[in-house]
A and B are shown apart, each in its own frame.
Chain A
Amino acid sequence: MKKTWLRDYIIKRLLYAIIIAWGILTVTFVLLRIGPTSPADKYLANLAARGQDAAQVIAAVEARYGLDQPIYAQYLNYIGNLVRGDWGWSFSTSMPVMELIQTHWIYSFQLILLSSIFAGIIGILIGIYSAVRQYSKTDYIATFFSFIGISIPNFWLGVMLILLFAVQFGLFKTYYDTSLPLFSLANLKQLILPVITLGTGMLAGYTRYTRSAMLDNLRKEFVRTARAKGLPERTVIGKHVFRNAILPLITIIMFDLGSIVFGGAYLTEIVFGIPGLGQISFNAIFADDYAVVVAVTLIAAFLILMINLVTDITYTYLDPRIRYD
């Protein structure tokens, strides 16, 4: 029975996701083209300095990129190419957009994945411990460091870690080296500082959320009942309290994941010189590289929609009372 409504639900959500992603693509496409800037802006100063007529060259450069056509023609052309698997040519990096994304997504993905694992595991464990030992010294220390972790800006922490561990102690390289094999210990080692940088804020947040969710549940009747039934404390905390506390946590973790995929990881990528999608998309925005901006926005939107779908499905397994039919 469950299988049927869940399957229907997933199909429905996937259809919604496609429609929403198409809407986002269209809005992004139109906004970029009606904006005040143009890919030809980069020529303005140089051209004038050489005595060239800027207006004439802007028109020529826009013609080169097909931007002289009416917006609907550009749009239909873009959608047609997209359907055929052609995501366009990135004129700020001189390569096909698909190849650009295929080359660079892995750098962001590994950073985000490892940071999430690092922050998720440690943050939740500290949060549980803090809640169970509420108002103990350990709880105060954890709270103190959580607030520091939440308050520290990523880029500042990253630079400080580089100065301390790479420059002073020489334990790491000052930048991410893309020549090292992805699946190697050396690569894992060079990701330690970036993961700490990106993960610290997340870790601190998870600690606070876990503590709060655990405390909410620790005070509930079913906990008292479980203890009264003589269940071991580990079972009470692990099976009853944590299982109930994890639902809001999943929402927060998934939401976090969505927001850092193309946003939060950017600063860490900048500081450590990791050529991930964050950097690529940021530079594309400033270069008015429309093809890249639209593609990255589309992928980001679709990923976030998928993360939400996975979150919803996870709920049904964690709490069988939840149904979407």
Chain B
Amino acid sequence: MAKLKILAIFLVTISLLACSCQPAKEASGVFISGTSAGDAETLNWILAADSASFGYAGHTVDSLVTYDNDWNVRLHCAARDIEVSEDGLVYTVVIRDDLRWSDGSPVTAEDYVYTLKNLMFSDWLNYPYKSDWQEEVGGEAVFITPEVVDETTFSLIRQTVDPEFVYNVRTLVPYPKYIAVKYEGDVKAFTEAPEFNNLTYTGNLGPYKFLEWVRNDKFVLERNPEYYLAKDVGAPYFEQYIIKMFGTAATLHAALEAGDITYTGIDPAKMGKFREMDWINVYTVPTRSCLLLAYNQRDNGWAGLKQKEVRQALSMAIDKELIVEQVLYGFGEPAFSFIPKPSPWYMEEGLAKYGVGPLLDKETAKERLLELGYAVKTADGSIEVRDEEGKPLKLTLVTNAGNEVNEDVCHLIREELATIGIEVELKFVPWATELRKYLMNKIPGTDQEPRYNNGVGAVSEEPWDMLVILFNTHPLSPSGSDVFYSTKGGLNFWGFFNPQVDGLFRQAKSAEALDEEVRREIYAELSVLMSEEQPVDFLAFQLANAGFQSNVRGIEPGVNMGYNYHLWYFE
């Protein structure tokens, strides 16, 4: 026994020595993240429409919870994960008690509730994303009810069940009540408030503090030694964190190659070159992006597209692996589901895999169109695709101009459909034009306000048949995709109406789906149904490439690669 004790003491001593011998990481250097995606609009994030603005502010103020690469919850401002009552109607949030604003006062539950009630839900501020906090009760959209429980606890009370509302709650970020009250009710004063535009209130809430913002040039942050999550370990380990804007991808890549920046995303076409550079580490990671080919099933699209079998035939003629190889240079995977592949809800079992394997068959596609009356057999036995009037079929394919990937996909689809005798006219239009003239619709002859889905009978200003678009959907809450695929969905611009799909989406948002196993089954059924219905042809899931200077350590490649970025360091 005594020997064991001695051995135990010896092992503990050795381990302590080993720990103490490890050099402590010290903050050093400047991490420069290069981007060509454009500058943010505002640091007053509640007014923002763009993701860059949320991203900038996010370096200085944490949300309640984030996720690691395996979607495990990582607590940030929350002291423990959000508790959901058994009936799915009450969400209880407990925040840490060591959160501080810049004036030293504690961040309290009152700040969160004030942010929701007095800012996000207010009429004077017009928070654009207020619908995230609304539910439909008796045919009307009403706000959920936030309530302060005590200094560090607040609750959010719903009247209807939404099993995936918790993912929304986890993203909550507070405004300081003691500052915001000064501007309450005056949108101009709030918009121009120096505290919010210079992030002077952020205290110990984020790994970095705002230092400087030169518009269209750089956003500079300095390390926050008081950061509540890491002050015990001396993190963050970069003295400064800079987001540097570039006007072109060519100069952005040149800057990474020359070592003038620390990190940037790399275009697939340049990957071969960067992989050969031993001073650059390149990581390929999954994304939530999916390239889609939308079929117009409204009255101003080709009538055939209203038939599931026609959509299947077209999807059967488009080679998805070719798109992955030729357009995405191999950095993608054929897609068959509306749920992004990195999602924990994603499953492949039973999916109809149009565009690969046995369901990539141009001859069968033509035969199906013949059976449906959209083709004729000529004297030599060959099949020629025709429209209702017996003329060669000509379809219009639209995408937003300037998006190289989308344009290349369009060219490839034109070639693919040409092989089954369908002529495709390409239209590349500016993004705003695409939104207003091709996506928004209204019932002709009415004074309806154009919306993305004005119901059955509504058509867009310009006719179109197919449209290539990139979707980013949240991997954790696929039920949110009902806006695209359900009859009343706000972004169902292509006019896909299917009661069975509507029913399954309703089920995914009902009380029974609080049970994760039940929800999984619903999503499995929905995925299979959608892959057969082909409301759109899911073309490819994109992969992203991230290039870092090789002296950066601590990176964990994955779908949420930056989740631990405050622990990254220079070797």
| A13 contacts chain B at the CB level, 8 A cutoff | no
| Bound: A93/B38 CA distance, A | 11
| Bound: A108/B452 CA distance, A | 41
B: interface residue count bin: 35 or more
Contact present for B255 and A175 (CB under 8 Å)? yes
Contact present for B187 and A64 (CB under 8 Å)? yes
| B300 contacts chain A at the CB level, 8 A cutoff | no
Q: Which of the 9-residue segments A18-26, A49-57, A249-257 touches chain B?
A: A49-57
User: Which residue in A50, A93, A100, A279 is a CB contact (below 8 Å) of B129?
Assistant: A50
Contact present for B41 and A174 (CB under 8 Å)? no
| Bound: A208/B128 CA distance, A | 56
Contact present for B41 and A91 (CB under 8 Å)? yes
**Residues 57-113 of A contacting B (Cβ, < 8 Å):** 57, 60-61, 63-64, 89, 91-96, 100, 103-104
Residues of A within 8 A of B489 (CB): 51
Query: Which secondary structure characterizes the binding site on chain A?
Result: helix
**Residues 205-235 of B contacting A (Cβ, < 8 Å):** 214-218
Contact present for A280 and B215 (CB under 8 Å)? yes
| B560 contacts chain A at the CB level, 8 A cutoff | no
Q: Given A95-B215, A273-B244, A275-B214, answer yes or no on A61-B250 (Cβ-Cβ < 8 Å).
A: no
Contact present for A51 and B131 (CB under 8 Å)? yes
**Residues 246-280 of B contacting A (Cβ, < 8 Å):** 246-248, 250-251, 254-255, 257-258, 260
Contact present for A52 and B490 (CB under 8 Å)? yes
Contact present for B251 and A174 (CB under 8 Å)? yes
Interface string of A155-174 (1 = CB under 8 A from B): 10001001100110010011
User: Which residue in B215, B254, B258 is a CB contact (below 8 Å) of A104?
Assistant: B215
| B365 contacts chain A at the CB level, 8 A cutoff | no
| Bound: A269/B255 CA distance, A | 16
Interface string of A27-65 (1 = CB under 8 A from B): 000000000110001111111111111110100110110
Interface string of A168-189 (1 = CB under 8 A from B): 0010011100100000000000
| Bound: A47/B49 CA distance, A | 9
| B323 contacts chain A at the CB level, 8 A cutoff | no
| A271 contacts chain B at the CB level, 8 A cutoff | yes
Q: Given A50-B131, A50-B483, answer yes or no on A94-B43 (Cβ-Cβ < 8 Å).
A: yes
Contact present for B260 and A175 (CB under 8 Å)? yes
A: interface residue count bin: 35 or more
Contact present for B246 and A175 (CB under 8 Å)? yes
Contact present for B44 and A94 (CB under 8 Å)? yes
| A308 contacts chain B at the CB level, 8 A cutoff | no
**Residues 175-213 of A contacting B (Cβ, < 8 Å):** 175, 178
Q: Given A64-B187, A280-B215, A283-B216, answer yes or no on A94-B246 (Cβ-Cβ < 8 Å).
A: no
Contact present for B42 and A103 (CB under 8 Å)? no
* Nearest B residue (CB) for A42: B49
User: Which residue in A42, A45, A166, A279 is a CB contact (below 8 Å) of B258?
Assistant: A166
Q: Taking the nearest CB of chain B, how far is it from the CB of A37, in angstroms?
A: 5
Q: Taking the nearest CB of chain B, how far is it from the CB of A82, in angstroms?
A: 17
| Bound: A275/B42 CA distance, A | 17
| B6 contacts chain A at the CB level, 8 A cutoff | no
| B132 contacts chain A at the CB level, 8 A cutoff | yes
* Nearest B residue (CB) for A156: B250
Residues of A within 8 A of B440 (CB): 54
Residues of B within 8 A of A155 (CB): 248
Interface centre among B50, B250, B436 (most CB of A within 10 A): B250
| B516 contacts chain A at the CB level, 8 A cutoff | no
| Bound: A93/B214 CA distance, A | 10
**Extra 4 A-B pairs, beta carbons < 8 Å, given A155-B248, A166-B258:** A42-B41, A48-B451, A48-B452, A54-B490
Which residues from chain B sit less than 8 Å from chain A, CB to CB? 38-39, 41-44, 49-50, 126, 128-132, 187-188, 191-192, 197, 214-218, 244-248, 250-251, 254-255, 257-258, 260, 432, 435-436, 440, 449-452, 480, 482-483, 489-491
